[in-house]
């Protein structure tokens, strides 16, 4: 939900024949919507509560600070009804907690239809990789995504029993399926989620780039000066790729920020990802 001064053109909503969607919700004006652990726990509880009574199936989720991803299958409710109920409930909590008014989320949620199993698996992998792409931590260590629910599938009290449907695409033997799912999840994602990438493109800007670099260095246990060392060339090049892919910053600006020459940034950004 954008302010009047930040209107975006409307476009026809595409509807999935399978009822499965990749959804992204983003904070209004790209502000944080999940500020602390209490907020993230509240959002997850809200989703679980709204999916009770088979309103929908939840195949994947990942919560970041200023946006979140969901992979959902319609059941008793339409995708519009599902997202409206989740967003309205969480916005009420958030506005009350932080004593604010106005729209919390950007105007329209982003949606991508999923029409076949291969694309569904790819979308789930993409969602779970968000913390790694943001330079926060490995997906296995990230507390706020459904990847841990997959790892916990053998627990009879799992909160997301429908993920067994996903694992059974790999094998009818759940233990074997889990091993194959982990292997699949660790593969490089070469699909192009155009709509999702477009919204993330300028996620890093002049205001938050230093904080992004700081988080990346913390996740790799490095200091900025370490990036100049030969043994850390892989991390340096990965950071350059993240900054060029996820921001509109110039190559000159990126070079200055991480202490390398502009030619290095140009070379790395133009090379295909490993």
What is the CATH classification number for the domain harbouring 43? 3.30.70.1290
140, 205: one domain: no
179, 154: one domain: yes
Cα separation, 63 vs 69, whole angstroms = 7
What's the confidence (pLDDT) of residue 103? 86
What's the confidence (pLDDT) of residue 141? 92
Q: Is the pLDDT of residue 63 over 60?
A: yes
pTM of the model: 0.67
pLDDT digit string (tens) for 78-90? Answer: 999 999 999 999 9
Q: Is the pLDDT of residue 6 over 50?
A: no
Residue 186 has phi, psi (to 5 degrees) of: -85, -5
pLDDT digit string (tens) for 178-219? Answer: 999 999 999 866 555 544 444 444 567 777 888 888 888 888
In the predicted model, what is the mean pLDDT of residues 89-97? 93
Last residue of a domain, one of 173, 198, 223: 198
Domain extent at residue 130: 4-198
Residues contacting 115, CB < 8 A, separation 6+: 16, 17, 18, 20
In the predicted model, what is the mean pLDDT of residues 155-167? 82
82, 176: one domain: yes
E-only strand ranges, 12-109: 20-26, 56-63, 67-74
149, 248: one domain: no
117, 217: one domain: no
Radius of gyration (C-alpha) of the chain in whole angstroms: 19
Q: Is the pLDDT of residue 57 over 60?
A: yes
Cα separation, 9 vs 11, whole angstroms = 7
Last residue of a domain, one of 198, 225, 252: 198
Element (H, E) at 77: none
What's the confidence (pLDDT) of residue 194? 40
Give the chain's end-to-end CA distance (angstroms, integer). 37
194, 230: one domain: no
33, 135: one domain: yes
């Amino acid at each position: 939900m954008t302010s009047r001064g930040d209107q975006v053109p409307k476009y026809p909503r595409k509807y999935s024949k399978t009822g499965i969607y990749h959804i992204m919700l983003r904070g209004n004006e790209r502000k944080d919507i999940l500020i602390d652990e209490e907020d993230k726990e509240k959002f997850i509880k809200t989703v679980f509560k709204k999916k009770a009574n088979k309103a929908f199936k939840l195949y994947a989720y990942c919560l970041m600070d200023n946006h979140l991803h969901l992979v959902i299958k319609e059941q008793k409710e339409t995708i519009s009804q599902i997202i409206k109920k989740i967003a309205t409930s969480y916005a009420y909590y958030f506005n009350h907690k932080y004593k604010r008014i106005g729209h919390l989320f950007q105007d329209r949620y982003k949606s991508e239809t999923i029409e076949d199993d291969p694309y569904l698996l790819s979308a789930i992998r993409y969602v779970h990789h968000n913390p790694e792409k943001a330079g926060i931590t490995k997906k296995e260590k990230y507390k706020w995504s459904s990847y841990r629910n997959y790892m916990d599938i053998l627990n009879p009290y799992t909160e997301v029993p429908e993920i067994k449907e996903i694992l059974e695409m790999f094998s009818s033997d759940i233990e074997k399926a889990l091993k194959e799912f982990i292997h699949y999840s660790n593969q490089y994602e070469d699909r192009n989620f155009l709509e999702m990438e477009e919204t993330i493109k300028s996620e890093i800007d002049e205001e938050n780039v230093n904080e992004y670099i700081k988080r990346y260095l913390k996740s790799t246990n490095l200091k900025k000066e370490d990036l100049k060392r030969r043994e850390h060339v892989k991390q340096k090049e990965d950071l350059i790729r993240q900054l060029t892919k996820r921001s509109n910053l110039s190559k000159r600006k990126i070079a200055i920020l991480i202490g390398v020459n502009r030619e290095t940034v140009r070379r790395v950004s133009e090379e295909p990802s490993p």
